[in-house]
Amino acid sequence: MAQSTTNPLIEIVDLTKVYKMGEMEVHALRGVSLSIQPGEYVAIVGTSGSGKSTLMNMIGLLDQPTGGIYRVRGTESQKLGKKALADLRNREIGFVFQRFNLLARATAMRQVELPLFYAGVSNRKSRQMATDALTRVGLGERTHHRPEELSGGQQQRVAIARAIVNQPSLLLADEPTGALDTHTGEEILTLFEELHSQGLTLIVVTHDPDVAARAHRVVTMRDGLIVEDRVQVPSKAAPAPAFPAPAVPAPQPEADSVTQPSAQPATQPRVILETLDGAAA
C-alpha cells in the first residue's frame, strides 16, 4: 500500500489484549499494528475468535488494551482518564451495530438527538442537527416515527443518523447488515458508500465476504493477529434481478394445419444472479 503523507487517523502499534478467566489467560490480540488514514473505507474480517471484535472494541475506545499503543488523531488513549476517553469517543467515533440499539418508545428525532444531549448541545441546535442527519440518510419524512413504525432498514438508517449526527471522524460499523434481508442490506451498504464519498472514514467489522467486497481495503485477522492487509477495487452492488415474467403459452396450431410441426414449448426465462464478487450464483 502506498505511503500517505497525511497523519493517520488511527494508529495502532503492537497492541495486545489478554483476558483472564480464572487461572487461564486468553490472548485475544497478540501484537497488532495498523494504521488507517482519513477517508479510508476498511473492512476487518475474520472467523469467530479471530480477534476482530476485540480490535473493534479497542478502536472504538470501548475497552483498553493490555499493552501497545493506540492513538486517535495523535492522542494516545492509554494516557487519558475515563472522562477524557468518553469525550474523545463521542467527538471522533460514531457506532453502528447489528441490532440497531434503538429506544423502543423514542421517535427517530429523539434517538438521533441523544448523543447531542450528552455533548451539551442546545435544544434548538440539536433538533436542527438531528433533522439534517435524518435527511442525510433518507429519513427526512420519518422524524416522528418510533421504531415499531419503521422497517428494519429504516431503523438501521436511524442508527446511522445517530452515529453521524456529531460529525465524527470515523464511523465504526459492527456487522451492520447482519439483521437485514439481502435487499435492505444492499441499501445500507450503498448508504455507506455515499457517506464515504462525502469524506467519512469508515471501518466495517464483518464475517460476510460480500460486505467486505464493498470496501477499498481488507484487513484479515486470525488468532489475534493480522494475517493479511490488502487494497482492492471495491465491487458495486449488483442490480436486483427483476421477477421473471410469466411464460407466454406457445400458439396452438390451427385446426387446418395439424400436419404442421407442433410449436415448441415456450422457453422459461433464465435469471442469472451474480454475487458481489462477480461469480455466478
Question: What does each of the 281 residues of the chain score in pLDDT, given as a tens digit?
Answer: 444 557 899 999 999 999 998 889 999 999 999 999 999 999 999 998 999 999 999 999 999 999 999 999 999 998 999 999 999 998 899 999 888 899 999 999 999 999 998 888 999 999 999 999 999 999 999 999 999 999 999 999 999 999 999 999 999 999 999 889 999 999 999 999 999 999 999 999 999 999 999 999 999 999 999 999 999 999 875 444 333 434 444 445 444 444 444 444 444 433 333 333 344 33
17 is written with which cell numbers? 489484549
Question: pLDDT, tens digit, for every residue of 102-125?
Answer: 999 999 999 999 999 888 899 999
Per-residue model confidence (pLDDT) at position 21: 87
Bridge partners, residue 222, by sequence: 225
Is 254 a member of any domain?
Answer: no
Is 195 a member of any domain?
Answer: yes
Per-residue model confidence (pLDDT) at position 5: 55
Residue 204 belongs to a domain with what CATH number?
A: 3.40.50.300
Per-residue model confidence (pLDDT) at position 237: 59
The C-alpha cell 434481478 sits at 241
Is 189 a member of any domain?
Answer: yes
Q: How many CA atoms lie within 13 A of 212 on its CB side?
A: 18
Per-residue model confidence (pLDDT) at position 99: 85
Is 248 a member of any domain?
Answer: no
How far from 132 is each of 126, 194, 196, CA to CA, in Å? 10, 15, 17
Is 141 a member of any domain?
Answer: yes
Burial 161-188, CB ≥16 within 10 A → b, else e: bbbbbbebbbbbbbbbbeebeeebbbbb
**Cα torsion angle, 53, 54, 55, 59, sign:** positive
Is 6 a member of any domain?
Answer: no
Cβ-contact 28, 54 below 8 angstroms: yes
Is 278 a member of any domain?
Answer: no
Cβ-contact 105, 146 below 8 angstroms: yes
Per-residue model confidence (pLDDT) at position 52: 95
Total domain count for the chain?
Answer: 1
d(C-alpha 204, C-alpha 191), whole Å: 13
State the residue range of the domain holding 210: 39-61+82-231
Is 21 a member of any domain?
Answer: no
